[in-house]
Amino acid sequence: MRIGEMVRRTGVSERLLRYYEEQGLLAPTRLPSGYRVYSDADVDTVRRIRFLLAAGLPTALIARVLPCVRDDSTTLAPVCSDLVADLRRERERITCAINDLEASRSVLDTVIAAGPDAPEPDAGVDAAEVTIRQPVSQG
């Protein structure tokens, strides 16, 4: 199928399909004219890519994950032993980011609460208890 049909079947824009190809996530065949030709398997691959992106994984990790997951049409399951460790590290990175955002929200709630006519902050955060962590470096 050509790119227009792929867009229709996956709901992903042409631009994103090209980006996935640039990132090594998708490898359609090419006609002598240069047109991309996608297979039914590529539709499934795009679905897996979208699932992993929704899980917060960067495309570089998705490129390593795709060959190591089994797709049972409702979820993905790792089949490579080292993949689980990579996914746990990524989960920890996401958890740290969430914690940092919650701390930022708490500080902002404190600032807002100090203003005139301020609404009550969500969780009754005590400003003295708020600590701000430095972002975790990746590398």
Residues 79-99 have pLDDT tens digits of 888 888 889 999 999 999 999
Q: What is the pLDDT of residue 37?
A: 95
Mean pLDDT of 66-83: 84
Residue 139 pLDDT greater than 50, yes or no: no
Tell me the residue type at 23: Q
User: Could you give phi then psi for residue 77, rounded to 5 degrees?
Assistant: -130, 135
Structure-block tokens of residue 109: 């709630």
Measured CA to CA in angstroms, residue 86 lies from 83, 96, 106, 128 at distances of 5, 16, 30, 36
pTM above 0.75, yes or no: no
